[in-house]
Each structure stands twice: as structure tokens, then as C-alpha cells.
Amino acid sequence: MNFEMITEGLKQLLQENNYTPATIHFYEREWSKIQSFLTEECGNTDYDMERGLKYLENQYGFITKYNDGTLSQQRVQLLRVVHMLEDYRLHQVLTRRYYASKNPIMLNAYYSDVSADYSKCLDSTDLSMSTIEHYKGISLVFMDYLQQRKIESTMNITMDTCNSYLKTLAGYSFKTIEQNVCGIRHFLRFLYSTGMLSADYAVKIHMPAVSKSAKIPSAWKLDELKAMLSAIDRNSPIGKRDYAMILLACILGLRIGDIKNLRFHNFNWENKKLSLIQHKTHKPLTLPMPDAVGWAVIDYIKNGRPQYYETDHVFLKHMPPFDPIGNENHMQQQLVRYMRKAGIDQRTKKHSGFHSLRHSAGSMLLEMEIPLPIITDILGHSASDVTAVYLKTDLKKLAECVLSPEDFCHE
């Protein structure tokens, strides 16, 4: 498919998906530059991703600047341009690598009804709220794909349809692909069970042959943790909140979902224990509460937490209406802000979210020669083989991560 056919089809899809004239003009302007590059440098207008990346390097020094860390966020947006062209060349659809609140996915009446029925089904399950929201979002993107492929009914979905959609996930991380495959399988099972699909395609879709343990979790070094924690303004209410939440993650290894859902009754101050039902696994977990963690939480409750009496959630938003932190907010922006303030290079930490702090807790417990089954219990994993991922980490480097809670108990 030559470049002219790709851009003609893409423009039609952009218009059908209600992109603004200004946005479409931006894409057309960039397409014109790419077409000139193909003609002058390649001698024809055949397009693929390799040529798209060559254009970005030639025009903007994209790859060079990315590697040396000088690429601006504005230039990063141009990657979207070449991705869109490649995705249309391969799949003839407008893939949604980035979401925009001003340009949400709009389903037609038929698929809107399917989506509403699926949402009701998900809301009646015992899945965690985060998983439910993931599955809703994944099904929405899949139905948008079906619309673009002019598949007017779920009864017309075939195994080839499913495989073609899954191919659009090429280039994503294993974790993202895993989430999407799980979500698609769940949605297909729903369609089959309700008679909206004639065959059970979910049983034929399998995860790629990539082990969960193939990827070593990101773990923080002790000096990085100390630097980040020192960068937090513990005299401010938000600082007190974030400090306590980060300690719960990097010392006790709690998931961010469990931290956000903590209630006052989860804390047994007299016995210095923290007990909860895990948001992800629905299994009970009881942990000893080190002094550093306990005093940080108490400091926030007494001196930082908004006086909001309609909820017993411990951690709240710090802007009206001061309600609990939403499921969609994973607090990553807060963590990134403290990293920048501490001068920590984000490029050295591929994962800068709260889950990376949880990984650090597991790594530190391992280095402290805590038996694997006990670490499994502390981290709330379903089995020791999940915890065994931490055994892949370089133990010599982990020696720098051994710390006691007192290391964080600054006054």
C-alpha cells in the first residue's frame, strides 16, 4: 500500500472519528513532509515503520535526541504520526495508542447497547474495580476496531477478526499485551455466554510464549529511596500524605490499590499491626507495622488529613471535595515529581510507579534472607512462583538495598 492510499484512508477515519480540522491539518502537514522525504530519499512512496523512523531522525534528530535525553515532549508526539501510518498500512484502522478526553471513542447504537450490557455484567462480578475498569476500556477499544472494520454485529466476529485485532498490539509491553488478551478473552466469553457470539473464540486465544519472570522487576537503591523521601516536604499536608503512602509501599510492599483503600479500622495501633483484605486477590493480609510507618501515618492523620467525616478512608485528595483517591489515580505523577525534585534520572528507572516500590520491598526482604514462602505471604502473592521473580535480581546490587525502617524515621 503506497503512501497516498494510506493517508487518504487515514484522513477519512480521522473525519469519521470527529477529529478537529486543526488536528487533521497538523497530520496532513506532517504527511506532506514524509511524502517528500520518501520521494527524495527512497525514490518511491512505499511506506513502512522503518522508513517512518528514518524520516523522524532525518527531520528532527529523533532517535539521537531520544538516546541522549534531549528529546522534547512536543517532538515525542511525532511518534504518533508514524505509528498511525504504520497501523493503517497493516490493519486499515485508526488505532488508539493515545486517548484524548476531547476525542473519546464514540460507539454506534448497537455497540453502545453491547457495552452497556457488558458493563452491567462486570459490575456484578467480584473482580477488583481496577480490573473492571481495565476490561471496560479494553472492550471499548475492541468494539471501536469492529466498527472501523465495518463489522456491524458481534455475530460476524470470526477468529480472523480476533487475531487481526491482537496484531494491532504489536510493540506494546508484555504486561500491556497480557492485560489486553485477558480483557478480550473475558469480553468474548461474555458474548458467547449471552448468545451474541456463535463460537467460543476465547478458548483459542492464548498468551504469547513469554514468561512473567522473564522481566526483572525494577528495584530502587537505598540512596535513591532516601533522596526521594528527603525531597518530600513533610511540613505540608500533601507531603505528609505522600510520605506515609510511599513508606507503606517501599517497607511493607503494599500495592497502591490497597494503600488507597486503607480504612481506620485496618490499623491495630495497640498491637502495631495492619490487617486488610487485598484489593487484587481478595485474600486477607496481616503485617507488622514498623514504627517509621506507624508514625508517618499518625502524623498525616493528626496534622495533614482534611477534616472529612463522610468517609473512613485514611488517605484523601487534598482539593475539594476532599474525597478518597479514585481508582484511576495511581499516584505516579506524585512519585515522578519527587524523583525530579531529588535529581533522580527517570531514564534509569524504567518503572517509576508505586509498584516499583513494592518490587524494592520484595528485593530487600530476599536479601535479608527471609524465606521465600514468608516473602510470598508478606507481599500477598498468590504463590511462591510469582515471588520467585525477585530471585532473578542481582543479589550483589541488592546489598545496597538492605535497610531498616529506622533509616526513614527522620525528625
Q: Three-state SS for 288?
A: strand
Cα angle: 377, vertex 296, 261; to 5 degrees: 55
Integer Cα distance of 117 and 120 in angstroms: 5
Tell me the pLDDT tens digit for each residue of 215-256: 444 567 777 888 888 899 999 999 999 999 988 888 787 888
Sort 5 into a burial class: Cβ within 10 Å, 0-12 / 13-18 / 19+: middle
Report whether CATH 1.10.150.130 matches the domain 109-210: yes
- Count the Cβ atoms, other than its own, within 10 Å of residue 404: 12
Tell me the pLDDT tens digit for each residue of 181-192: 999 999 999 999
Integer Cα distance of 389 and 382 in angstroms: 13
CA Rg value for the chain = 24
Residues linked to residue 284 through DSSP beta bridges, in sequence order: 277
DSSP assignment letter at 314: S
Integer Cα distance of 138 and 162 in angstroms: 13
Report whether CATH 3.40.50.300 matches the domain 222-408: no
Integer Cα distance of 117 and 124 in angstroms: 11
Kindly give the confidence (pLDDT) of every residue in the chain, 411 residues in length, as a single tens digit, with 9 standing for 90 and above. Answer: 789 999 999 999 888 877 889 889 999 999 999 999 999 998 899 998 889 889 888 888 887 776 666 767 667 678 888 888 988 888 888 876 554 555 678 899 999 999 999 999 999 998 878 789 889 999 999 999 999 888 999 999 999 899 888 888 876 767 778 888 999 999 999 999 999 999 999 998 876 544 444 444 456 777 788 888 889 999 999 999 999 998 888 878 788 889 999 999 999 999 988 999 887 777 888 888 878 889 999 999 999 998 877 789 999 988 877 888 877 777 778 888 888 888 877 655 555 677 777 766 655 555 555 555 655 555 554 444 444 444 444 334 333 333 343 444 444
Phi, psi (degrees; rounded to nearest 5) at 328: -80, -15
- Cell readout for 364 is 530487600
- Count the Cβ atoms, other than its own, within 10 Å of residue 68: 9
